[in-house]
Structure 1
Amino acid sequence: MESLNPATEEVIETFDADDERSVEEKLQQAHETYEEWKQQPIEERQRLISKAGEVLRENKQKYAEIMTKEMGKPISSAVSEVEKCAWVCDYYAEHAGEFLQDERIGTEPGVESYISYEPLGPVLAVMPWNFPFWQVFRFAAPNLTAGNVGLLKHASNVPQCALAIQEVFEEAGYPEGAFTTLLVGSDTVEDVISDDRIAATTLTGSTGAGRSIGENAGKNLKNSVLELGGSDPFVVLPDADIEDAAQTGAQARCINNGQSCIAAKRFVVHDDVYDEFMEKFTEEMESMTIGDPMDEDTDIGPQAREDLMEGLHEQVEDSIEAGASLELGGEPLDREGAYYPPTILTDVPDESPAGEDEMFGPVASVFRVSDTEEAIERANKIRFGLGASIWTQDKTQAKEVAREIESGMVFVNELVKSDPRLPFGGVKDSGYGRELAHHGIHEFVNEKTMWVTDVSDTDEMVE
Structure 2
Amino acid sequence: MSMLRAVNPTTGEVAREVPAATGEQIEAVLDRARTAYLSWKETGFAERAEVLRAVAAELRENVERYAPVMTEEMGKPITEARGEVGKAASAAEHYADHAEEYLAAEHIASDASSSYVQHLPLGTVLGVLPWNAPFWLASRVASPALMAGNTVVMKHDPHVPGCATAIEEAFRAAGAPEGVFQALHAATEDVEQVIRDPRIQAVSFTGSDRAGSVVASIAASEIKPAVLELGGSDPCIVLADADLERAAEVSALSRIINAGQSCIAAKRVIVERSVHDRFVELLAERLSALVVGDPSEDGTQVGPIARGELRENLHRQVTSSVEAGATCVLGGEMPDGPGYFYPVTLLTDVQPGMSACTEETFGPVAVVMAADDAEQALAIANDTPYGLGASIWTSTERGEAMARRIEAGQVSVNGIVKTDPRLPSGGIKRSGYGRELGPHGIREFVNAQQVWVGPARG
**Total equivalences in the alignment:** 455
Structure 1 position 54, deviation (Å): 0.6
Q: CA deviation at 1:99?
A: 1.1
In 2, the alpha carbon distance for the partners of 1:175 and 1:90 equals 18
> Partners in 1 of 2:38 and 2:120 — Cα distance?
13
Counterpart code for 1:361: G
How big is the shift at 1:176? Answer: 1.3
Other-structure match for 2:414: 413
Counterpart position of 2:35 = 32
1:422-451 alpha-carbon deviations (Å, 9 max, x no partner): 001010110000000110000000000001
SS at match of 2:19: coil
Helix, strand or coil at the partner of 2:157: coil
Q: Equivalent residues in 2 for 1:8-27 (5 A)? A: 8-27=11-30
- SS at the partner of 2:11? coil
Matched, 1:301 2:324: no
* Residue in 2 that maps onto 1:431: 432
TM-superposition CA deviations, 1:354-402 (whole Å, max 9, x none): 121100001111111111100100110111100011111x222111111
What is the distance in 2 between the residues matched to 1:331 and 1:17? 37
Partner of 1:379: 381
Rounded Cα–Cα distance in structure 2 between residues aligned with 1:396 and 1:143: 37
Corresponding residue of 1:51:
54
- Name the structure 1 match of 2:403: 402
**2:320 partner letter:** D
DSSP 3-state at the match of 2:267: strand
Partner residue, 2:278: 276
Q: Distance in 2 between matches of 1:354 and 1:247?
A: 21
Looking at structure 2, the residues matched to 105 and 346 of structure 1 have their Cα atoms a distance apart, in angstroms, of 55
Alpha-carbon offset, residue 191 of structure 1: 0.9
**Alignment partners' CA distance in 1, 2:25 and 2:438:** 34
Check if 1:61 corresponds to 2:64. Answer: yes
Structure 2: distance between partners of 1:144 and 1:286: 44
Identity of aligned residues (%): 48
3-state secondary structure, aligned to 1:15? strand
Contact 2:233–2:357 under 8 Å retained in 1: no
**Pair 1:362-2:364 in alignment:** yes
Task: Within 5 Å, give how 1:177-326 maps onto structure 2.
Answer: 177-326=179-328
1:333 pairs with 331, 335, 341, which one? 335
| 1:15-56, Cα deviation, whole Å (9 max, x unpaired) | 111011111111111111111111111210111111111111
SS at match of 2:134: coil
Structure 2 match to 1:451: 452
Instruction: Report runs of 4+ in structure 1 exceeding 6 Å deviation.
Output: none
Give the C-alpha shift of residue 352 in structure 1: 2.3
| Contact 2:267/2:357 (<8 A) preserved | no
2:90 aligned to 87, 90, 94, which one? Answer: 87
Q: Corresponding residue for 1:74?
A: 77
2:358–2:384 Cα contact (<8 Å) kept = yes
**Alignment partners' CA distance in 2, 1:186 and 1:14:** 15
Match of 2:441?
440
* Greater Cα shift, 228-237 or 3-12: 3-12
Name the aligned partner's letter for residue 142 of structure 2: A
Match 1:153 to one of 145, 152, 155: 155
Q: What secondary structure, in the 3-state scheme, does the structure 2 residue paired with 1:334 have?
A: coil
TM-score, scaled to structure 2: 0.97
Deviation at 1:124, TM superposition (A): 0.8
1:106 equivalenced with 2:125 (yes/no): no
